Chains A and B, each alone.
Chain A
Amino acid sequence: MTDLFDMGSVGPFVWGAYGVTAVGLVALLVMSLRANKAAAEQVERMRPKRRKKPTAGDN
């Protein structure tokens, strides 16, 4: 296990590269999902409400 992390003394470079990649890609995905969710909710809030069809019980 130590060998996997150490990688013949280049471990910090290898794990650093994979770590930066993971952080960058996850951050972009999360930001995109959150921004889309927020925009969709805002659209729903601003969309004019449709009038309820009058039913037989309504006066």
Chain B
Amino acid sequence: MHRFANPAQFNRLADKILPWAKLVLAACLIYGLYLAFFGSPPDRQQGESVRIMYVHVPAAWMAMFCYLVVAGASFTEFVWRHPLAILAGKAAAPIGATFTALALITGALWGKPTWGTYWQWDGRMTSVLVLFFLYLGYMAIWRSMDEEEKAGRAASILALVGVINLPIIKFSVEWWNTLHQPASVFRLDGPTISGEMLWPLFTMAIAFKAYFVVVFLYRMKLEINRRKLSVLRMSRVNG
């Protein structure tokens, strides 16, 4: 794992991955949008508003996935002191915050025509809002401390404590009475939604994952450049 601790080596690897990730992103986005609007039927109960699912659900999945990346990076930094791990958490947090905000907004836009309300303080929506605040808190800690190492440690502690929110999000629809329907894709007995809707959903999910890879790699490069800058500034100050 420490093989890619060298920023130059990481940048070379990122430059190899980026064109492929962009290709997957473009292909899946075009095909996924085509399926979402023309290749999938309206829902029997919800009608055309079900098409919001193809952006809302992948955004919600990515919101949780990005948090796993942030928490995994924090854990790696704590245990193995991997020099790039903490930068990986810092790079993934804004992407996770964006996906969480999108999941909340698109969920509200789906909720109005489906349930008659934009917002309800139920378990799922509230726990996703908590996830959004965790991302904001994580990023705020990074910005509020001058010393990078201390900021990284404090932000990592928050990220690791916040992991408890992930199972709450996942199981909130089973634990509490909620407007959200129970899990219909990742179930032990298989998905309960039709294949015509699963294809666009998974295609959009792959597109969002490829988007994450692209933006994450650029943000990692950004964090590496920022670290280089602070080293250069320090060396100038010290003569």
Contacts and interface: CB of A to CB of B under 8 A. Distances in A.
Contacts of B113: 10, 13
Which one of B42, B47, B218 has the highest number of Cβ atoms from chain A below 10 Å of its Cβ? B218
A10 B222 CA distance: 40
Contacts of A28: 94-95, 98, 215
30 contacts: A4-B37, A10-B47, A10-B49, A10-B113, A13-B110, A14-B49, A17-B56, A17-B105, A17-B109, A20-B102, A20-B105, A21-B55, A21-B59, A21-B106, A24-B98, A25-B98, A28-B94, A28-B215, A29-B211, A32-B218, A32-B219, A36-B222, A36-B225, A39-B222, A40-B221, A42-B225, A43-B228, A46-B232, A46-B233, A47-B232
B232 A13 contact: no
Contacts of B219: 32, 36
Interface residues of B, number: 35
Interface hub of A21, A32, A36 (most chain B Cβ within 10 A): A21
B102 A21 contact: yes
Contacts of A17: 52, 55-56, 105-106, 109-110
A20 B37 contact: no
A10 B232 contact: no
B101 interface: yes
Contacts of A24: 98, 101-102
B48 A10 contact: yes
Contact of A29 (B59, B215, B229): B215
Contact of A40 (B47, B51, B225): B225
A14 B55 CA distance: 10
B214 interface: yes
Interface residues of A, number: 26
Interface in A1-49: 4, 7-8, 10-11, 13-14, 16-18, 20-21, 24-25, 28-29, 32-33, 35-36, 39-40, 42-43, 46-47
B112 interface: yes
Given A10-B48, A32-B219, A43-B225, A20 B106 contact: yes
Interface in B125-159: none
